[in-house]
Structure 1
C-alpha cells in the first residue's frame, strides 16, 4: 500500500521502513514517539503543535517537564514520559565520546583481538573480523563451531554479515585444538573460496589466522593468501 493511502499516524513508521530515518521530519520523529494524537488531531498534528511551542528547538523541548508536556491535549503521563525519555537518551548520547575503533595494522593485531576467545578451546570455532576502508574494526563474531578437527563456515553467512556491517575487508580465523599451527588442505581451500567470493563483492580478505593456545599462524604473512 502506498504511504499516501495510510492513516496519517501510520505514515511516519512506514516512511521510516521504506526510506530510512533520515527521511523523517522533526514532527514525524516526534509523532512516532507519541504514537497517537487525540480525537481532534493526529499524532503528526500534535507533534507540530508541540514543536511550534518551542520554536522547533529540540533543546527547548528537552527543558519541558512531564507536567509541561501534559498541558497539551492528547498528551497523557505515559506519552510525556516517553518524550522526556527519548530526549534524555539523545542528551546522554551527545555527551558520550565516540569510542575509537581498533586498528588492524598487522596479523598480530588480529590475533590479540581473538586470542582470548579461541586459544583455550577444545573444539574448533570459526571467527571473522570485519573492517572498514581504514582497517578499523567494525565488528567481530563467531560464525561456526564444530568438532575437534574442523569447523565448517558458510561463505554466504560470512559475507552477509560483512555486508550488514558495511565492511570492505575481513580477517578470518579459526583455532587448532591440536596445537598444530600449519594449515590443512581444507584450511587452504576455504581460504581460496572466501578470497574469490570477496572479489565479486569487492570485500578483501586480508588474512586467515590459525590460533593455538600459545601462538598463531598467518596465511598472509606466510605468502599463502
Structure 2
C-alpha cells in the first residue's frame, strides 16, 4: 500500500492522488500548487529532498513570487543542490513560454450569427462522431 505522507522522499511511495503528475491528470492543472507544477518540470529531487520539496525551497528563495522566479537565470537556478543545467533550462523555458503567452494577441474568434455559419463551423467536429 502506498504511503500517503508527502514527507516521504520518494514520490513513487506517495498516494497516487498526491503525486503531481497523477494529480494533474485526475484533477486538472488548476488543482496543483506552484511547487507541484515546478516539481513536474524538475522531474526528480535529491537524495534528501523530493522534487516537490526542492520546488518549495526554490519558491521560498524568491518569496513565492513567480515574477521573481522568472528573473532567475539558468546559472541562478543551478545554485540549488539538485538543479543541474537541464532542470534549470526546463524551468526557465516554461516561465518564458508563460511570459510570451501574456504578450501574445488573443486570436479573434469568428462570430457565428446564422445557422449556416454554425453548420460550417461544427461540420468538421461532427464528421468524426
Common topology (TM > 0.5): yes
Offset, 1:13 = 0.6
Structure having the larger proportion of residues in helix: 2
Q: Tell me how far apart the structure 2 counterparts of residues 75 and 81 of structure 1 sit (CA, whole Å).
A: 10
Which secondary structure does the structure 2 equivalent of 1:141 belong to?
helix
| 1:47 CA displacement | 0.1
Please give the alpha-carbon distance, in whole angstroms, between the structure 2 residues aligned to 1:17 and 1:59: 26
**1:91 maps to which of 93, 99, 118:** 99
Q: Return the offset for 1:97.
A: 2.1
Equivalent-residue separation in structure 2 for 1:48 and 1:89 (angstroms): 21
**Mapping of 1:30-179 within 5 angstroms?**
30-107=38-115, 109=117, 129-130=121-122, 141=124, 157-158=128-129
Q: Report Cα offsets for 1:92-131 as digits up to 9, x if no partner.
A: 00111221211111245458xx5xxxxxxxxxxxxxx24x
CA distance in 2, matches of 1:142, 1:23: 29
Give the Cα separation in 2 of the matches to 1:93 and 1:76.
26
Question: What's the CA shift for 1:143?
Answer: 5.8
Aligned twin of 1:4: 4
Equivalent residues, number: 120
Unmatched segments (≥5 aa) in structure 2: 6-11
**Any idea what SS the aligned residue of 1:39 has?**
coil
Quick one: structure 1 residues 39 and 2, their matched pair in 2 at CA, closer, same or farther if it must change by over 3 Å? Answer: closer
Partner Cα distance (2:85, 2:43) in 1: 13
54 and 2 in structure 1: CA distance in 2 versus 1, 3 angstrom threshold: same
Q: Post-superposition shift, 1:23?
A: 0.7
Structure with more strand by fraction: 1
d(CA) in 2 for partners of 1:88, 1:46 = 21
RMSD: 2.4
Structure 1, gaps ≥5 residues long: 115-128, 131-139, 145-156, 159-225
TM-score normalised by the chain length of structure 1: 0.48
Structure 1 residue ranges (4+ consecutive) displaced by more than 4 angstroms after TM superposition: none
Contact 1:3 1:14 in 2 (8 A): no
